[in-house]
Amino acid sequence: MDYEIDTPAELAKAFYVKQDMGLGGGMLVTNPIPEEYSMDADVINKAIDEAVEEAKAQGIHGKETTPFLLAKIKDLTGGDSLASNIQLVYNNAKLAAATAVELSKLAKN
């Protein structure tokens, strides 16, 4: 099911209602990177493609894949991908905190 939620309050309400109804399963929340920290799509996609090809060529797989890809993409982008990823983590933490505040308000009612 595709559904767009635009505020932490709406996200908290959706989660609260789902729990209140006893519905199983999870909720997948996607949160885009803030525009000012995003990278040019061509640059990041090229770096990803190169890193994936190199991982395949070196036979890297399993739990070694993610660290390899992140390091290689960081190198290929001159560190820009790391800076963007850090901002994405910060933005996700901000959304989680704001949603938790809204959820606590609902739980008090």
- pTM over 0.75, yes/no: yes
CB 91 within 8 A of CB 33: yes
Mean pLDDT score, 78-99? 97
What is the DSSP secondary structure assignment for residue 32, as one 8-state letter?
P
- Confidence band of 107 (pLDDT split at 50, 70, 90): confident
Structure tokens at 25: 């399963």
Cα–Cα distance, 89 to 92 (Å, whole number) = 5
Cα–Cα distance, 94 to 97 (Å, whole number) = 5
> Which class for 11: exposed (0-12), middle (13-18), buried (19 or more C-beta within 10 A)?
buried
Structure tokens at 93: 């933490």
Is a pLDDT exceeding 70 seen at residue 1? no
The overall average pLDDT reported for the chain is 95
CB 75 within 8 A of CB 82: no
Is a pLDDT exceeding 70 seen at residue 84? yes
- Confidence band of 75 (pLDDT split at 50, 70, 90): very high
Structure tokens at 36: 């000012």
In the chain, pLDDT over 90 holds for what percent of residues? Answer: 88
pLDDT in tens, 3-39: 889 999 999 999 999 999 999 898 999 999 999 999 9
